[in-house]
Amino acid sequence: MHAIAILCSGGDVSGMNPAIKRFVEYAFAKTLTPFLVYDGYEGLIDDRIQEAHYRDVSNIITQGGTFIGSSRSERFMLPKHRKQAALNLKKRHIAMLVILGGDGSFRGMHIFYREHGIACCGIPSTIDNDIAGTFYCLGVDTALGMIRTAIDAIRDTAASLNRAFVIETMGRECGYLALVSALTSGAELCLIPEIPYDFKALTGSIKQQLHKGRHYMIIVVSEGIAQEHETIISWLQNDVGIETRLNVLGHLQRGGTPSVYDRLMAYRFITYGIDGLLQGEKSSVVCYGAERFHYRQVDEVATTPYEIEAELLALGQHVCTLGAS
């Protein structure tokens, strides 16, 4: 039997455990011997690699995060450590590797394949949803659900106390989480890096809304403009004239029971990933778009900046500018 391994790299997401469960079970269905790499690329270097059995994944589908651990490995950037990682795989006759992670993980994967010839397949797994070439990354739906629950709860207090709440989502330099959360939670304003905003122009629009009966506000702000927090709060309190509080949602966005959609996407991503490796894909990322899956070369994915689709930005234009010109 041929052997195949899986690891998680970078930030954890809900959906990784369902993906690992599918990986083990589908590997057996394809007469492959599955191995689990604990603690990401660090575990690959330190030989924390164990053969997997059905019992290892029998009760993990409801759990957030990843039971095999993850890491951000600086050591894997060095050739000597990548060589050791390859030796650890080859002594077990592991010739295929599935990586759940983001663009940094995929860059490491591409170098690893070029140097040592171990076929690799990347599964986009980041709540930031900022991987070029794919419409969806594993974990995003669960993260959006966690954000929705938090915003709904904060709205209760905002309405009770006639306050504005600035709510920061994750996303690094990408405003996807903030924009979708703002649209689906009925936020009054959203500020993201992709759409220019002008506090002076926004002031008149908000004051007009307050005059017409709005008595509180939810403002969703992307992590990519976190440096503007003090400016935003000062503007709301001093120029707009509404008492304001800041809520940074932080790492709760990564946790939680994986949603039905993330469980389904984990199943599908892994199936296409293993099938691709068996069909001869050597260094690719499984991407999703236009209601279908496809493979893209990892160097293309890892070196191309992600852009939020134009239609979604157009939908968000009003909530990001309040119609201001």
Q: Catalytic amino acids? A: 128
Cα(266)–Cα(286) distance, integer angstroms: 11
Cα(256)–Cα(258) distance, integer angstroms: 6
Query: What helix, strand, coil percent values describe the chain, rounded to 5?
Result: 50, 20, 30
Alpha-carbon separation of residue 210 from 216, 226, 243 (angstroms): 8, 25, 13
* Tokens matching residue 166: 């600035």
* Tokens matching residue 2: 């041929």
Radius of gyration, alpha carbons of the chain: 22
DSSP, res 138: B
> Is residue 42 within 8 Å of residue 73, measured between CB atoms?
yes
Element containing residue 6 per DSSP (H, E) = strand 2-8
Neighbours of 52 (CB within 10 A): 21
DSSP, res 57: G
Cα(129)–Cα(238) distance, integer angstroms: 35
